[in-house]
Amino acid sequence: MSKFDEIRYFHDHEVNEALGSIARDPMMKALMNFTFPGVDEQVWLEQFKEVHSISDFQHHFVAHTIRQILAKSSEGLTTSGFDQLDKNTPYLFISNHRDIVLDTSLLNLVLLESGHIMTASAIGDNLVKRNFLNVLAKLNRNFLVQRGLSLREQLKSSQTMSEYIDQQLHHENRSVWIAQREGRTKNGNDATQQGVLKMLAMASGDQSLTDYFKTLKIVPISISYEYDPTDSLKMPQLLAQHREEEYIKGKNEDFMTMLSGILGQKKRIHIHAGDVIDKELDDIAANIDNKNKQLQAIAQVIDDSIIQNYKLWPTKYIAYDLIHNTNTYASQYTEQEKQLFIRRLEMRISSSDAISKEYFLSMYANPLINKRKLEEN
Query: pLDDT tens digits for 111-160?
Result: 999 999 999 999 999 889 899 999 999 999 999 999 989 999 999 999 99
Single pTM value for the model: 0.94
Q: Are 371 and 222 in contact (CB under 8 A)?
A: no
- Per-residue pLDDT of 196-249, as tens digits, reads 999 999 999 999 999 999 999 999 999 999 998 888 677 666 665 656 767 566
Question: What is the C-alpha separation between 358 and 34, in angstroms, rounded?
Answer: 36
73: left (phi over 0), alpha (psi -120 to 50) or beta: alpha
pLDDT greater than 70 at residue 368: yes
Question: Which three-class secondary structure state does DSSP give residue 37?
Answer: coil
Question: Which three-class secondary structure state does DSSP give residue 79?
Answer: strand
Q: Are 46 and 184 in contact (CB under 8 A)?
A: no
Question: What is the C-alpha separation between 188 and 365, in angstroms, rounded?
Answer: 7
Cα separation values, 341 from 47, 271, 318, 371, Å: 43, 22, 8, 21
Question: What is the C-alpha separation between 316 and 98, in angstroms, rounded?
Answer: 15
- Range with the largest mean pLDDT of 187-191, 264-268, 273-277: 273-277
- Per-residue pLDDT of 157-209, as tens digits, reads 999 999 999 999 999 999 999 999 987 777 888 999 999 999 999 999 999 99
Question: What is the C-alpha separation between 282 and 156, in angstroms, rounded?
Answer: 30
Q: Where are the alpha helices (DSSP H) in 180-252?
A: 194-201, 209-216, 235-242
Question: Which three-class secondary structure state does DSSP give residue 295?
Answer: helix
Question: Which three-class secondary structure state does DSSP give residue 111?
Answer: helix
Q: Which of 301, 310, 299, 293 is nearest to 180 (CA)?
A: 299
